[in-house]
Every structure is written in C-alpha cells, then in structure tokens.
Amino acid sequence: MDGLNVSIAFFFLVVGVCQALTWLSKRLLSSGTHGCLAKEFAGSFQLCTSCLELRMLMEIGPWGGGFGLDVVLTLLFLLSAVHGASSDGAFANPTVCLQEFLLLESSLAATVAKLLAQGVGAGTGWAVTRLYWSWELTQLHFIQNLITPECSSSIHTALPHAAFVEGSCTFLFHLVLLKVRQSHPLYRVPALAATVTFLTYTAGPFTGAFFNPALATATTFHCSGNSFWDYIQVYWLGPLAGMLVALLLFQGNIPRIFQKNLLYSQKSKYKVPKAKVTAQVEGDKPQRKRKGGKSNSEPRA
C-alpha cells in the first residue's frame, strides 16, 4: 500500500499547487484574464495529472499494488468532488466552454482563450506527470515508466461504437450539469462527482471514458493503435455531438444559433382571469327578478 500512499500525497500536492496558482492569479491578474486563462489552466492541469495517476493505479494497481477497482473508483469520486469544489467555476472541459458560448454566456474571444488555456494546462499536466513517474518513487511508477513509451490506444471497441460511447457519456454528463448548475454547491458537486464516477465505471473498458476532448488529447492521442483521425472522431466529434443533443433536449433550442424553441411550447407562467361581464342599469343597482319575470315590490300593509 506504500504506492497508494505516495499517489495520495501526489494528489494533495497537485491540488495545493493549483490552489496557490489560482490565489496568485486573483491577486496579480485582472478578473478577465484570471477567468479566461489562469482558472482554466489550473483546472486542466489538476484534472490531467489526477487522471493520469488514477489511470496508472487502475491499470497496474490490481496486480502490482494489491488493491482493487473499488479503491480507484473511491479516489475518482473524491478527486472529482475536490476538483468541483476548488476549481472556482472552471470545468476544464472544452465541451462545457462551447456550451456556455452557445448559451450566450461567453463571448467568442473568451471561449477561444479558455480552450487554449485548457490545452496548455492539459499538456503541462501530462509533462509534469511523466517527469514525476521518471523518479520511480514506487514500484508502480517503475512499471509505469517502463510501459509509457509503448502505450496503447484506449479504444477497445469498434470505431462507431467508441464514438457513440463517448457521445453518450458527454450527453448524460451535460444533462446533469444543465440540471444542477444553478444549484447550491453542496448538491451540485456530489451530483457531478457521482455522474463522472458512474460513467467512468460503465464506459471505461470501451474508450477510457474521457468525455473531455482536451484531457483525451493530452493523454491518449500519442498512443499507438489508432490514427489521429480516429481519435478526432471518438474524442472530439463524439463529445461535441453529445453536448449539442443534450443542450437541444434540455433547452429546446440553441440560443447562439436560433431563438425559436423547437421542442417545447412557450406557456405563460401567470394565468389571466377571464373578465366577468355583468349588466348593470345606469344609476341604479341591479334588481333580482322572481321566476315568471315579475320584479320585487314592497309588501302591502
């Protein structure tokens, strides 16, 4: 279990470094630069390093470390929750940035800046993790350092099925995100962490269950077994299609493209009471009539 303890310490160190970077960027940079560049860079760096270390534990841990999949999934849930609670609003996912752009919540320049920051952050996370593995602090890292140059593709199924799997994972993730994004973090963070854990457990054996194009590009595009265009179809086009379908199903339209709601009718939230027409005699109160058409008269003495 010494290897697992070293990995947990590495997770804590990465989270601490990313939190320090976020704090410094708030102090030194403008709010726009901090939101578009620093947060997304730190979030992508943290997500990529954590994902690579978890994948190493998932692949080597059962036979090299003596612990099972339940330990890795528990770590995945906890790290996803920590990422959601500490990312300061940065999801470090290109499909989420594009969703915000399509919802008119982000400009084109800000979206492009976020995408670039995510790519640089994920690439830096991959390089730092490779350097960390090269130190061979544990037997797990020694084995990982040996097999890293000969890594194989994470696609273990037919190409159309792999693209469908990544698109379906992205579809479900974005549906949950759209549902809970305005909720209190106490509910939003565990819901998203549980969704990520479930999707990884379900779809991991087929494609690795990235449903994050930047993360997949940094971690698996350099591996042998599939062409660059194959990776683009599975890890970029599949998630983008899943995000668009989720947004259209949830909203009924895509605001950046068209305003008209294609799926749901727009009904007013307020009911307008129907006006009651009453016939009144000018200057007098309405009088009740008896049956037979006779009007009321004063009683005779």
pLDDT (tens, 9 = 90+) of the chain, 301 residues, equals: 677 889 999 999 999 999 998 888 888 877 776 667 888 999 999 999 999 999 999 888 777 666 788 999 999 999 999 999 988 878 899 999 999 999 999 899 989 999 999 999 999 999 999 999 999 899 899 988 888 777 889 999 999 999 999 999 999 999 999 999 989 999 999 999 999 999 999 999 999 999 999 999 988 998 988 999 999 999 999 999 999 999 999 988 899 988 788 777 765 444 555 555 444 444 454 444 444 444 444 444 3
Alpha helices for 87-158 (secondary structure H): 94-102, 108-134, 139-147
Give CA–CA dist 251/137, Å, rounded: 49
Q: Which two tokens stand for residue 22?
A: 């976020």
- pLDDT score of 36: 73
Give CA–CA dist 186/272, Å, rounded: 38
- pLDDT score of 212: 95
How many Å is the maximal CA-CA distance in the chain?
A: 120
Nearest to 69 by CA among 60, 56, 77, 58: 58
- pLDDT score of 206: 96
Domain layout of the chain by residue ranges: 1-251
- pLDDT score of 34: 64
Give CA–CA dist 279/48, Å, rounded: 76
Torsion over CA: 24, 29, 31, 32 (sign): negative
Give CA–CA dist 288/76, Å, rounded: 78
Nearest to 50 by CA among 8, 96, 20, 97: 8
- pLDDT score of 301: 38
Long-range contacts of 126-133, Cβ-Cβ distance < 8 Å, separation of 24 or more: 126/48, 126/52, 126/218, 126/219, 128/45, 128/49, 129/48, 129/49, 129/52, 129/53, 132/10, 133/56
- pLDDT score of 270: 46
CATH 1.20.1080.10 fits 1-251, yes or no: yes
Give CA–CA dist 54/144, Å, rounded: 12
Please, what is the Cα angle at 173 between 187 and 36, to 5 degrees?
A: 85
- pLDDT score of 216: 94
